[in-house]
Structure 1
């Protein structure tokens, strides 16, 4: 997929709505060769997805070994809106707490007092974190209005061909 095609998908209104959500699911290959999918908070920079994790997270060994990931961001309503992204990961070890981590966890409903306590706990627990930066190499939006899963599109084309025959 060409970069301009990826950009076109990611700039669609539904894609922008999905990229403003709190949680995505990230799939990667674990050290034993089996797939893993985890829910994780994220932020969208306008060109990359950033998730943050602890420096001792088990997923880091997997991502160092194989930096390919697949992301899913979707809704819980009918018809669902689904953004699928494939990409490659760069790991950026940072001292302290990345601003993205504070921002991506800032949308939860917390009182000001709870927020202060949460941030103090985070700062006392982590001396640093790893920014997992995903650069999209492929993207597809499925909105069930203008785009469908490819298998459904194929079935619809077959049905239309039968009706024309």
Structure 2
């Protein structure tokens, strides 16, 4: 029997592991200050427990996350059969005096080692906000064994 959608143990599934290490942006969904939904593409790093994002300390989303920390994240592939990892959790924000190690690791994953280090080096010494999202709900679609509920009914 397969693990039910929503169970955080799905993070151990090969599809989840593939998406957590993919060089594709995640999409962060959160609620704006006026109550409307927002979705933004973001670089991310999976630290084994949480999705970790880096952002400038003056990023407008930080005020929204302080007011309503409940978020959703999706990471999906670009070719069929589509692989989709969806997470829900609460965002916590920590203000740093320098570039976060997770942001530097993400830069290397997205750009490759040399270009990623160069990108991170130009940001060193500048403040950054670290956003951590520990999943409390997880779902996977792989369009092979796990289909959207409307297609599998």
TM-score, with structure 1 as normaliser: 0.82
8 Å Cα contact 2:54-2:131 kept in structure 1: yes
Local SS of the residue matching 1:108 = helix
Partner in structure 2 of residue 60 of structure 1:
62
TM (norm. structure 2) is 0.88
- What is the DSSP-based 3-state SS (H/G/I as helix, E as strand, rest coil) of the residue aligned with 2:7? helix
- CA RMSD of the aligned region, Å? 2.0
Larger radius of gyration: 1
Counterpart among 45, 51, 54 of residue 49 in structure 1: 51
Q: What number of residue pairs does the alignment pair up?
A: 148
> Out of 88, 108, 115, which is 2:110 matched to?
108
Offset of residue 45 of structure 1: 1.1
User: Where do residues 8-157 of structure 1 align in structure 2 (5 Å cutoff)?
Assistant: 9-22=10-23, 23-109=25-111, 112=114, 114-115=115-116, 117-123=118-124, 126=126, 128-154=127-153
User: Which consecutive unaligned segments of at least 5 residues does structure 2 have?
Assistant: none
**Deviant stretches of 4+, over 6 Å:** none
Q: Which whole-Å CA distance do the structure 2 matches of 1:106 and 1:116 have between them?
A: 6
Q: CA deviation at 1:107?
A: 2.2
Equivalent-residue separation in structure 1 for 2:116 and 2:152 (angstroms): 46
Q: CA deviation at 1:111?
A: 7.8
- The structure richer in helix per residue is 1
